[in-house]
A and B are shown apart, each in its own frame.
Chain A
Amino acid sequence: ILNVEQSPQSLHVQEGDSTNFTCSFPSSNFYALHWYRWETAKSPEALFVMTLNGDEKKKGRISATLNTKEGYSYLYIKGSQPEDSATYLCVGGAGNMLTFGGGTRLMVKP
């Protein structure tokens, strides 16, 4: 995976809003797609890793889907809370290699 794109780059939402971000990647040479949540001055926290087309993962109010045929993944946050404010990284894995997207910076206003 050579190029992982994320959109939007940043996003401001109100507390309680639901939101979603997009990650696109080349569908060839796909192995795994990771989502990380990264707060400033902390280590990126693994949210999900998906490997199969059609995978859907959920962790509390956060969920993700994967479409390897068309090369995209969505991350959804239901009922955003201020503590969800972070940068969300989409990472493509091929073999041992990780390729990072630029991240989506989410800011949730109380």
Chain B
Amino acid sequence: GAVVSQHPSRVICKSGTSVKIECRSLDFQATTMFWYRQFPKKSLMLMATSNEGSKATYEQGVEKDKFLINHASLTLSTLTVTSAHPEDSSFYICSARDYRQGPRGYTFGSGTRLTVV
């Protein structure tokens, strides 16, 4: 079946630095990639939606200059947390959309646990 590889699985960084998270679709072309964030004891919340070759659409309250999303190819999307602060510590997970599979065509990465110290 479809697989999305997400790296790194865990990262610890210092305040003020930037962290890049990658998601790759391994055996299908991901026209659309979704990025989610999950705070402790909360549901996964959509941060942004990106389509290959175009700018990402950010959800209300998500700073586009802080969370840079690049979806330059049909198999790779990256999320860069810039100038990270401790409040950015969270669980980030991507999901790739394979429209050929209709409503079931969402494949998730395994997530990245970011800790900013």
Interface residues, chain A, with chain B CB atoms under 8 Å away: 4, 31-32, 34, 36, 41-44, 46, 49, 51, 89, 93, 96-98, 100-103
Complex CA distance for A46 and B104, rounded to whole angstroms: 8
Complex CA distance for A46 and B107, rounded to whole angstroms: 8
The reply to whether A46 and B43 form a contact with Cβ atoms under 8 Å apart is no
Interface residues, chain B, with chain A CB atoms under 8 Å away: 3-4, 6, 9, 32, 34, 36, 41-46, 49, 95, 97, 103-104, 106-111
A-chain residues with CB within 8 Å of residue B110 when the two chains form the complex: 41-43
The reply to whether A97 and B46 form a contact with Cβ atoms under 8 Å apart is yes
Other than the known A43-B109, A44-B108, A51-B103, what 14 A-B pairs have Cβ atoms closer than 8 Å?
A4-B43, A34-B104, A34-B106, A41-B9, A43-B4, A43-B107, A43-B110, A43-B111, A46-B107, A49-B103, A89-B44, A96-B49, A100-B43, A101-B43
8 contacts between A and B (CB under 8 A): A31-B103, A34-B104, A43-B108, A44-B108, A46-B104, A49-B103, A98-B34, A102-B41
How far, in Å, is B49 (CB) from chain A's closest CB?
7
The reply to whether A98 and B106 form a contact with Cβ atoms under 8 Å apart is yes
Complex CA distance for A4 and B110, rounded to whole angstroms: 22
A-chain residues with CB within 8 Å of residue B36 when the two chains form the complex: 100
B-chain residues with CB within 8 Å of residue A97 when the two chains form the complex: 46
- Among A32, A34, A44, A93, chain B packs the most CB atoms within 10 A around the CB of A44
The reply to whether A96 and B97 form a contact with Cβ atoms under 8 Å apart is yes
**Closest chain A residue to B32, Cβ basis:** A96
Complex CA distance for A63 and B96, rounded to whole angstroms: 25
A-chain residues with CB within 8 Å of residue B32 when the two chains form the complex: 96
- Among B42, B107, B110, chain A packs the most CB atoms within 10 A around the CB of B110
Complex CA distance for A4 and B4, rounded to whole angstroms: 25
Complex CA distance for A102 and B39, rounded to whole angstroms: 11
B-chain residues with CB within 8 Å of residue A100 when the two chains form the complex: 36, 43-45
**Closest chain B residue to A6, Cβ basis:** B43
How far, in Å, is A70 (CB) from chain B's closest CB?
21
The reply to whether B46 and A102 form a contact with Cβ atoms under 8 Å apart is no
Complex CA distance for A34 and B16, rounded to whole angstroms: 38
How far, in Å, is A85 (CB) from chain B's closest CB?
17
